[in-house]
Structures are given as structure tokens and as C-alpha cells.
Structure 1
């Protein structure tokens, strides 16, 4: 299954906001997650999304 970069960013942002991040901060982190995934750097992308949410 493939997920689009837009879907990665939107889902990451929603998760971050759902865990209490301010909207603009969640947007910046979600954009970075999208970029990392797009470059094939999953360790700095979705891999750490759970950790980002817990913080």
C-alpha cells in the first residue's frame, strides 16, 4: 500500500494536534515528517511520529 505525501502530512498533523500540539507547530512538524519520508529517511519521519505525539 502506498500513501501520498499529502496524506502523510495531513495525518501527522491531525495526530499531533490530537495530542495537544498547537496548530502551527503541528503543521511545521508534519511538513518535516513529509519531507523526511519523501527523501526516504523514515527514521526522522513516521518512525518518530509516536514519540513526537507523546512529547
Structure 2
């Protein structure tokens, strides 16, 4: 799905798309995400969660 949406065939170059999809999921109430790049996704998830809790 992310490769199709971003037109990026290489899975290792889809970090931004993965983060965007995860942040959208978090905004819709998702409490658990599965990722390969833990550090980047964790930082994005923490930031998204803090923003959503402040509004």
C-alpha cells in the first residue's frame, strides 16, 4: 500500500510513508503499531500522541 501510494518500489525508502500512515492510525485511536524502524516511528508516535492530547 505505501509503495503504491508513494510510487516507491524499494521498501527501505518508504520511511516517510510508514510514519504518515502510523500517525494517521494514532489519530484514529490505534494504540499499537508494528514497525521495522523503531526509533523514527517511536519519535513520531510520541509527538503525534502529545499533539493529539493537547488539542
TM-score band, normalised by shorter chain: 0.3 to 0.5
TM normalised by structure 2 equals: 0.38
Q: Which has the higher helix share?
A: 1
Of structures 1 and 2, the one scoring higher in RCO (CA 8 A, sep 6+) is: 1
TM-score, normalised by the number of residues in structure 1: 0.38
